[in-house]
Structure formats: C-alpha cells, structure tokens
Amino acid sequence: MTETIKRRFLLTEDWSAVVLGFAIIILTIAGLGLPSPSFKWQNASDLAQAVFAAVNLKNILLYFLFFYAFALLGARITGKDISGVAKSFPVVYVLTLLASLAGGFEGIKSLNLETVIFCLFLGLIVRNFIKLPEWFSESLSSEFFVKIGLVLLGISVIFSDILKAGSLGLIQSLLVVLSVWYFSFWLCKKMKVDNELTMMLSSAVSICGVSAAIATSGAIKGDPKKLSVVVSLVLITAVPMMIFMPWIAHQLGLSEEITGAWLGGTIDTTGAVVASGTLVGETALKISTIVKFSQNVLLGIAAFAISVYWSYTKKEVEQEQKPTLKVIWERFPKFVLGFVIVSLVFSFLVAPDITESIKPQLKNIQGFWFSLAFTCIGLETSFKDIFGKQNRKPLLAFLGAQGFNIIITLVIAYLLFGYFK
C-alpha cells in the first residue's frame, strides 16, 4: 500500500524537468546568489591564480552542492535509485570539471571548440576504456539534465522569436519528417532490416532521435535490445555531425538562421543540437532549438500514427486495445511546454530589468546542465555494440537515411529560412 502511494506521487522525467527548471528560476528571482566558477586560463600562472584560487574553488564547491541537490531531488521525484545517483554524480561532476578546464584554455577557445565537446569526449574515453559497473550506467541522466537546461533556455528566447521561427520550423519539420521517414522506411525494407528495427530507426532519423526511438518502441512494444542498437547509433552519429556540420555550414557561407534550421532539423539528439548551435552563435542556437522543438511537438502525433499502423497491420496485436487520442498527450514531450511557458512569462509578465538581472546566472546554470548531460552521454555510449556483424545492415541503413536527411533538410532550411523568410 505504501509503495502504491509512493508511485502515485512520482513524476515522469519530462514533468520533473519542468518542475525543477521552474524551481531554479523561482530561487534565482528570490535572490539565490550562485556565482559561476571560472575556468578561463592561458598559462600555468592563470591556472594557479584564477582557476585554483580559493574564491573560485569555493564557487566550484557551491556549484557541486547545488547541482548535486537537484540531481538527487530529480531521482527522488522520478523514482530513480537515489543511492546510484548519489554515488555516480560526483564522478560525472569531476569529469565535467576536467572537461571545463580543457575547454577554458585560451588556445582551445580560439579554435571554437566548446566545453561540451570535451565533456562528450572525456565521457566516451572513460566508457570505452574502463569497465563501468551496471549500477553506474543505470544512474546516468543525460536526457534529464538536457531537459532541465532547455526549460531554463526559455528565459533567453522571447516569444516573438518562437512564433516567427516556430512557424517556419513546423513547416520544415512536417516536410522533413514525412520525406525522411518514408525514405528510411523504404531503405530498411530494401536492405531487409526487420520490422521492429525499421520502425524505430525510421522514427529516430526523421523525428527526434532517442526520444522518437523510445516512443516508437513503446508504441509497437519493441524489443529493448533492438532499441538499444538504435539509441547507440543515434548517439554515435550525433558526435561527428555536431562537430563537422557547423564547420561545413561556415564553409558554405550559410547564415546563422539557415545553419540553425539545418542543425535543428538534422541532428537527432536535443543535446547535440544545443552543442552544435552553440558552436555557431546565439542566433543559430535559438533557431536550432526552436526547430528541434517543432519536431519534438510532432512526436506524440507520430507515436499515435505508428501505434495505429502497427495495431492494424500486425496480427499479434490485433486483439489488443486499439490506440486512442490519449496516446498523443502521453507521448508529447512535456519539457517543451516548460520552455514555452518560461518564454511566455519572461516575454510578457516579468519586468525587463528583472529578466536582465537574473539572465546571466540562469544562463550559466543552463550551460552547466548541458555540460553534465554531455559527460553522461559519453559515459552511456559504447562503440562495441554498434559495429558488430549482426548490426551491419541497420548501421548502413541508418547512415544512408541520415545522409538523405542531411541533404533534404539543408535544401528545405535554405528555402524556408533563406529564400522565403
């Protein structure tokens, strides 16, 4: 009975991200003073006198306590194993600090390499060269941390931007999702990829990566092992895409608006979209995030459509209860609502001087959530499961579909955000 009552009061990861994001904003408005640690250094003297100064070490400790408390609270309200998070988070934090030191070096910054890239690479090195216990891997929260950061991102995006870019982003998303999903489905069938993998892979490439793969797996009651393969493919291909696509856009002379739309419509994980947009600039970050949100909005509708298709085409599920419109709301990414609400509140209800006074602190907190998330993504990603012989066809199909996605989305983004804008 007690367990039933506890479960009743648990929140989903999306709702928890919204609640914690709002809590951080309220605390900041109420006067929370959380100075951001400095990781900028040019030589050994800077490292000793600035980064390792007593005041900065104190700020690093305060940051740890703040993020640790929210990570534990998130685990508590989502029903996750608190003891696992309590033990793994300090490791994630230390790795993120090391990556921040690397990203803060002036010689690195001149190359336009952001901290999140070092967080990702350091996590990948640890994950693939050190055997991590199962409890450690299960306690990681990359998507959760990204969602909290994205709720906070709403404060820096005024609602007129959402209306302007969102309408174009929604048009782009509809065109991209339909064309890429169909192409991916056709390619998987040509390569004789099994039905479950075909559905998950097509959704992941065309809609929004990991979230779409998970939603599709739930809609068709898919094999968790196959889902793991698709998720791993999404995470690994996101790494080179988030690094090289901004560079390619620069070489092509694309504007930040077109680049942001291209990144947001192509890269399959929200965190990687944020990281790649950050590499280009503030405008690209906003556009890429809004375009990605436009695709996220379609997730619930897509999951519903897929579940209807699967129910009526698969004999083994014909006798089960047919899907209802309730599925749309269940699959809808609630953290998108959090982002929009924050943007609405700070666009129309909060005085501009208050917004300007708290924006720097919230932006630093938001950025560190992204850094923690990318350390976790690296720690969650294994190369071993991806390149096995049994997964060769899904890998080739995924790469082929992603290649088509990159080209068609660039054309659509160029037309919508360049020519018709």
CB burial readout 39-67, b (16+ within 10 A) else e: bebeeeebbeebbeeeebeebbeebbebb
Structure confidence at residue 218 as a pLDDT band (50, 70, 90): low
pLDDT at 228: 66
Mean of per-residue pLDDT scores for the chain? 81
Confidence tier at 421 by pLDDT (50, 70, 90): low
- What is the model's pLDDT at position 319? 46
Indicate whether 79 pLDDT > 60.
Answer: yes
- Crossing angle (nearest 10°) for helices 334-344 and 159-190: 160
Q: What is the dihedral of CA 318, 223, 242, 363, to 10 degrees?
A: 80
Structure pTM?
0.69
- On whether the CB atoms of residues 18 and 78 are closer than 8 A, the answer is no
pLDDT for position 267: 86
- Position 282 scores a pLDDT of 81
Has residue 23 got a pLDDT over 80?
yes
The pLDDT of residue 32 is above 70: yes
pLDDT greater than 90 at residue 91 = yes
Q: What is the pLDDT of residue 5?
A: 41
Which is nearest to 189 in space by CA: 178, 207, 202?
Answer: 202
Tens digits of residue pLDDT in 231-273: 777 877 877 888 889 989 989 999 988 999 899 888 877 767 8
Q: Long-range contacts for 282-287 (Cβ within 8 Å, ≥24 apart)? A: 283/256, 283/257, 284/246, 284/256, 284/257, 284/259, 284/260, 285/260, 286/156, 286/157, 286/161, 286/165, 286/260, 287/165, 287/169, 287/256, 287/257, 287/259, 287/260, 287/261, 287/417
**Does residue 348 have a pLDDT over 90?**
no
Region for residue 281 given its phi and psi (left: phi exceeds 0; alpha: psi -120 to 50; beta: otherwise): left
pLDDT reading at 92 higher than 90: yes
Cα-Cα-Cα-Cα dihedral sign, residues 371, 372, 373, 379: positive
- Give the pLDDT band (50/70/90) at residue 419: low
- Residue 225: pLDDT band (50, 70, 90) is low
Q: Quick one: pLDDT at residue 4?
A: 47
* pLDDT given at position 28: 93
Residues 267 and 107: their CA atoms lie apart, in Å, by: 28
Q: Residue 262 has what pLDDT?
A: 92
In the Cβ-directed half-sphere of 3, how many Cα atoms lie within 13 Å? 0
- pLDDT value for 31: 87
Least confident of 93-102, 242-251, 385-394: 385-394
